[in-house]
Amino acid sequence: MAPPSVLARVEAEGGLSATGAWVTVDGRDVLFVPVDLQSAGYDGSPRDRLREVQARTLNRAIAAALDDRPGAGLVVAGDLNVVGSARPLDELRRGLGVGGRDLEVARLERLRDRSLATWRSIWGEDPFSPGRLDYLLYRGAVLRVERAFLFDAADLSARTRESLGVLGSDTEKSDHLPLVVDFGGR
């Protein structure tokens, strides 16, 4: 049986495993694509080059899925593991905007200190410094960011956490902070 969608066919042909979901919001189609590229490595390392290949392949799959909906919204977000070079980020953004423009990169900051670091070690002996590994890319001609931040429960006062039903440890379950973005249409 043939894969049911363009994205599934591209995945099957390219040996790529990717997931995406078309969602209709206020009558507008928006494709949401989560990402988790290869971790570790350094600029030019085999892992960094693999991230570039993954990003290029994913870019092609997304472009194929958008072929029949050129004016649709698009949100691509997740762990790009940009530790070696920015080339994987550039490869993923390239040409997926409306009219062949590059995707926009949302600026997400922590509430407390405006840091852009989306990853921090939750293990005591980890040798790595906090960094920006997670990104949210979107079609700026279709969507606009109304509010955006990185959520860390530790940034909230005890009183605020209690009123929201949030535990101080809620964001310690992962070494990545949640990306929170409210979009509006253009």
Give me the number of domains the chain comprises: 1
Residue 186: inside a domain: no
pLDDT band at 169 (very low <50, low <70, confident <90, very high): very high
Side chain identity at 21, as an amino acid letter? A
Quick: pLDDT tens for 94-109: 999 999 999 999 999 9
Q: Work out the average pLDDT over 117-126.
A: 84
Q: What is the pLDDT at residue 124?
A: 76
Residue 157: inside a domain: yes
pTM of the model: 0.87
Q: What is the CATH number of the domain that holds 33?
A: 3.60.10.10
14: containing domain: 6-180
Q: What is the pLDDT at residue 139?
A: 98
* Residue 74, CA distances (Å) to 21, 60, 62, 82, 184 in order: 10, 14, 9, 21, 12
Residue 140: inside a domain: yes
